[in-house]
């Protein structure tokens, strides 16, 4: 099997790069933008206006613990046909943090009970210990900018990289775009009239940060070997 992120790493990466989420309580559904942070141990916190309906619901909940469900949608940054790459669902309870440093902001800690990743038509439960031990991919927060740059400014390189794949993938090809990137490799999407195929090109060795990406892409261009599904 080709190297790739674990499901726990995929979840941590989605949480790291997501700008928005949907939060559902027994009473209300909230759409939150740029309000969550995740610390190194995987604990998610929300920073919500102290005067907001969510803050009021959390503070007035029995024992100040608010059962909730959080949903994140991972969207491909490049304009491909089906842009939803994965969905992350978390369930747990929101509790006001013990220390509130800003009078106009209420910090709510998520005490996580369940986590799941939906991807490629399958849903996987993620163990809480596994999730806490995982780390986001080192390219996670830069992935959108990197893929957009590759798609807009280096389409010739993308075409060259696609030559590493099975020649039959090019039959009746309508569009070719990079669709995902992580420390293990680059995923290209081959779009046809009624379907598409994602193919992973695995780097000779994982990248540790964005400064190593150009060298790995150059190494791929010099390869003529096997391709694997992501």
Of the residues 133, 165, 193, which one is the last residue of a structural domain?
133
Question: Rounded distance, CA 71 to CA 140, Å?
Answer: 18
Question: Rounded distance, CA 134 to CA 128, Å?
Answer: 10
- 63 exposure class (CB count in 10 Å sphere: 0-12, 13-18, 19+): exposed
Of the residues 133, 164, 187, which one is the last residue of a structural domain?
133
Q: Do residues 108 and 167 share a domain?
A: no
Task: Tell me, rounded to whole angstroms, the distance of Cα 49 from its chain centroid.
Answer: 26
pTM: 0.92
Q: Do residues 11 and 105 share a domain?
A: yes
CB 74, CB 14: distance < 8 Å = yes
Range of the domain at 188: 143-221
Question: Rounded distance, CA 108 to CA 47, Å?
Answer: 7
- 225 exposure class (CB count in 10 Å sphere: 0-12, 13-18, 19+): exposed
Q: Do residues 111 and 160 share a domain?
A: no
Sign of CA dihedral 5, 9, 10, 16: negative
Q: Do residues 74 and 20 share a domain?
A: yes
Q: Do residues 39 and 150 share a domain?
A: no
Of the residues 133, 151, 167, which one is the last residue of a structural domain?
133
Q: Do residues 56 and 129 share a domain?
A: yes
pLDDT tens for the chain, residues 1 to 230? 567 899 999 999 999 999 999 999 999 999 999 999 999 889 999 999 999 999 999 999 999 999 999 999 999 999 999 999 999 999 999 999 988 889 999 999 999 999 999 999 999 999 999 999 999 999 999 999 999 999 999 999 999 999 999 999 999 999 999 999 999 999 999 999 999 999 999 999 999 999 999 999 999 998 754 444 45
Question: Rounded distance, CA 21 to CA 18, Å?
Answer: 8
| E strand spans, 50-167 | 66-75, 84-96, 105-119, 122-125
């Amino acid at each position: 099997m080709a190297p790739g992120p674990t499901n726990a790493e995929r979840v941590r990466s989605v949480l790291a790069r997501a700008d928005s989420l949907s939060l559902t309580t027994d009473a209300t559904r909230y759409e939150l933008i740029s309000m969550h942070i995740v610390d190194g141990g995987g604990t998610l916190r929300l920073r919500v206006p102290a005067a907001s309906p969510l803050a009021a619901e959390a503070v007035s909940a029995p024992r100040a613990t608010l059962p909730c469900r959080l949903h994140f949608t991972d969207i491909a940054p490049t304009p491909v046909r089906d842009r939803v790459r994965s969905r992350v669902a978390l369930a747990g309870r929101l509790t006001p943090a013990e220390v509130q440093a800003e009078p106009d902001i209420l910090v709510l800690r998520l005490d996580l009970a369940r986590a799941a990743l939906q991807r490629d038509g399958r849903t996987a439960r993620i163990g809480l210990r596994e999730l806490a031990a995982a780390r986001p991919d080192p390219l996670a927060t830069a992935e959108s900018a990197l893929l957009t740059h590759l798609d807009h400014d280096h389409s010739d390189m993308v075409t060259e990289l696609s030559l590493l794949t099975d020649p039959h993938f090019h039959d009746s090809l309508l569009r070719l775009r990079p669709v995902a990137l992580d420390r293990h490799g680059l995923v290209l999407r081959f779009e046809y009239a009624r379907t598409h195929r994602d193919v992973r090109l695995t780097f000779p060795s994982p990248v540790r940060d964005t400064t190593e990406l150009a060298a790995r892409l150059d190494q791929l261009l010099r390869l003529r070997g096997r391709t694997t599904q992501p």
